[in-house]
A and B are shown apart, each in its own frame.
Chain A
């Protein structure tokens, strides 16, 4: 079912050329995290280069959302080190605030601000965090709204938009901060099948611009087009890590084979 929805994009698009450079932008070193007694992330080692596009998949409860949420410190890790854009994430609030301005994030439930118009949602960060003038912020916002194909909705409230439109606004909101990295936490899981495509198209276009992207998703069609590398997680461990071609056609691990057989 999921696959048929992305078939069109799959058919029309070849795998995007990799934009990865040699510069490391995300570096996880032996990261561990517990929720109470529960060990969610076990000795995670992960390196992402600038311009690289990573897709993380795995069964629910495997820790993939937690992993991605550690990248902008929405979750706190208890041991190991996380270095984002040469800044180490620790208890230093200044570092965290700085990282968050450089890392955009898109959530499953959009998390738009319902009391503000679309335009205000987009200009909030630039105006209050980047201290850009209102006029300039609005111009940037309109530019990105056009890029996600909904400039005509600028003065509406999030509650008046469809799920797919809201998610595209959320992507535009993150882009307005001009981030170096974009994180996507199951961006299409809360959407109707008809709306998944419009969001994925926007994400593919974004990938085409050379943005560093880390995407948690079950959209394997999307992964095939966009991913430079696919990471498969299970029970808090990175089980397998490979380029998409190898990953889909020649999975190494038993658990990966089982997962792929269920999802494809």
Chain B
């Protein structure tokens, strides 16, 4: 007998247990006696933990005091945040001259202005903005932070960075307002419609050269006082080391990973041994090697300062880790993608740059950002070899006479700081993953 359905079956509303909060709790928290017991115990543990932290850190804490003794007199059981607050400048900037702090803040502000367009949807040419951040911004920031006399190379790069910053800012503002790029805007606004594309390009090039010359002339007389690297410290130093490490580890890692997969034996052996060497040694050893052994191999009279040595060590160390992550990412790309790229005529570098790397890196975002997070935390190791990074500064609070013995509070404060930074990075990586996902599999 045939069954033929002619009417549609309408949907019924779901049972209460599926929608109401009480139904949810019954299902997930109190489904059996044992589970109910577990729930209650867990809630109790959470309660006493939060209560203790609240009482120590907020309710009984002392916020205003001049010495640790005063803190004790006001409240013996609470945290003495007054010590952390009075050291706040040092924790953030180390022993950087107080009257020059504006330079660090300005540098960070420039970084923000430089990178903000990356998050503005209407701005074009995001890749060049990203690349200039990596390759030009360090010179601008480097001079602002260290100051002193500029060599000819530094003068040129500083000029280029400033012109780039100005152009970049103008480009972003125009992008947000009109959705066009800076050259497009200039041509539309002031250009001659009859002029050929080539002559327009020459005029734009002329404007660029003119502004470079103008800024170069201006910066010849502009000078800020030199601050030796030994006065750098605190969170600022941590961010400098980690920032350079992050910015250079990715390109370095990509090159090493490609080298390891190369068909040329010499390149492959070199990359592989380099990666394996650095990966099989703890970071602290690499840091010691960089600061004590490295100078021995250098010719007489060739001396790098300790900070540069440390930064090079951190960069190489992390490039090796990133290299292995990138190699893993490359292996997830099916052979068909290479073949597809070859059949449209793309060569090795365009295949890698346009087809393989974008996909591989996208797949690897969680791992890469995870590595960056541990890189940021690992930089605290430099306090062991005598740089006063954020951890170094946090530990000096307790050695300062008025605050003698105050160790707990600064470290808790440091933990909160690191948590905030790392949590933001991790959230951002998750956001990137979702945003860049185009596979539409889920």
Distance of B23 from chain A, by nearest CB (Å): 37
Q: In the bound complex, how far is the Cα of B439 from the Cα of A97, in angstroms?
A: 29
Q: Is the CB of A100 within 8 A of B345?
A: yes
Q: Is the CB of A109 within 8 A of B440?
A: no
Chain B residues closer than 8 Å to A173, beta-carbon distance = 344
Q: Does A61 contact B (CB under 8 A)?
A: no
Q: In the bound complex, how far is the Cα of B239 from the Cα of A235, in angstroms?
A: 64
Q: Does B331 contact A (CB under 8 A)?
A: no
A160/B336 contact (C-beta < 8 A), A74-B343, A97-B345, A128-B354 known: no
A111/B350 contact (C-beta < 8 A), A100-B342, A159-B440 known: no
Question: What number of residue pairs across chains A and B have CB atoms under 8 A from each other?
Answer: 66
Interface string of B357-369 (1 = CB under 8 A from A): 0110010000000
Chain B residues closer than 8 Å to A97, beta-carbon distance = 345, 347
Q: Does B339 contact A (CB under 8 A)?
A: yes
Distance of A75 from chain B, by nearest CB (Å): 10
Contact with B346, one of A107, A116, A129 (Cβ below 8 angstroms): A129
A159/B441 contact (C-beta < 8 A), A111-B336, A128-B354 known: yes
Q: Does A29 contact B (CB under 8 A)?
A: no
How many residues of B are in contact with the other chain, CB < 8 A?
Answer: 21
- B355's closest neighbor in chain A, by CB? A113
Contact with A113, one of B340, B342, B441 (Cβ below 8 angstroms): B340
Q: Is the CB of A112 within 8 A of B359?
A: no
Q: Is the CB of A129 within 8 A of B440?
A: no
Q: In the bound complex, how far is the Cα of B341 from the Cα of A161, in angstroms?
A: 20
Chain B residues closer than 8 Å to A140, beta-carbon distance = none
Q: In the bound complex, how far is the Cα of B347 from the Cα of A159, in angstroms?
A: 25
Distance of B346 from chain A, by nearest CB (Å): 6
Q: Does A212 contact B (CB under 8 A)?
A: no
Distance of A175 from chain B, by nearest CB (Å): 11
Contact with B343, one of A104, A130, A159, A160 (Cβ below 8 angstroms): A104
Q: In the bound complex, how far is the Cα of B19 from the Cα of A159, in angstroms?
A: 34
Q: In the bound complex, how far is the Cα of B345 from the Cα of A72, in angstroms?
A: 10
How many residues of A are in contact with the other chain, CB < 8 A?
Answer: 27
Q: Does B337 contact A (CB under 8 A)?
A: yes
Taking CB atoms and an 8 Å cut-off, the chain A residues in 119-139 that contact chain B are 124-125, 128-130
A125/B346 contact (C-beta < 8 A), A107-B340, A113-B355, A115-B359 known: yes
Q: Is the CB of B345 within 8 A of A177?
A: yes
- B347's closest neighbor in chain A, by CB? A97
Interface string of A147-186 (1 = CB under 8 A from B): 0000000000101100000000000011001000000000
A105/B343 contact (C-beta < 8 A), A124-B354, A128-B350 known: yes
Q: Does B42 contact A (CB under 8 A)?
A: no
Q: Does A101 contact B (CB under 8 A)?
A: yes
Chain A residues closer than 8 Å to B344, beta-carbon distance = 100, 124-125, 129, 173-174, 177
Q: In the bound complex, how far is the Cα of B340 from the Cα of A111, in angstroms?
A: 5
A114/B438 contact (C-beta < 8 A), A124-B344, A128-B350 known: yes
Distance of B356 from chain A, by nearest CB (Å): 10
Add 20 more A-B contacts to A111-B339, A125-B345, A128-B350 (CB < 8 A): A72-B342, A74-B343, A103-B343, A104-B343, A107-B336, A107-B340, A111-B343, A113-B341, A113-B355, A115-B359, A115-B362, A124-B354, A128-B354, A129-B344, A129-B350, A130-B345, A157-B438, A159-B441, A173-B344, A174-B343
B interface residue numbers (CB < 8 A to A): 336-337, 339-347, 350, 354-355, 358-359, 362, 438-441
Q: Would you list 30 pairs from A and B whose C-beta atoms are within 8 A, ordered by A residue?
A: A74-B339, A100-B342, A100-B345, A104-B343, A107-B336, A107-B339, A111-B336, A111-B339, A111-B340, A113-B355, A114-B359, A114-B438, A114-B439, A115-B362, A115-B438, A116-B438, A124-B354, A125-B345, A128-B346, A129-B345, A129-B346, A129-B350, A157-B440, A159-B438, A159-B439, A160-B440, A173-B344, A174-B343, A177-B344, A177-B345
Q: Which are the 7 A-B pairs with shortest beta-carbon distances?
A: A111-B340, A125-B344, A159-B440, A101-B345, A129-B345, A111-B336, A105-B343
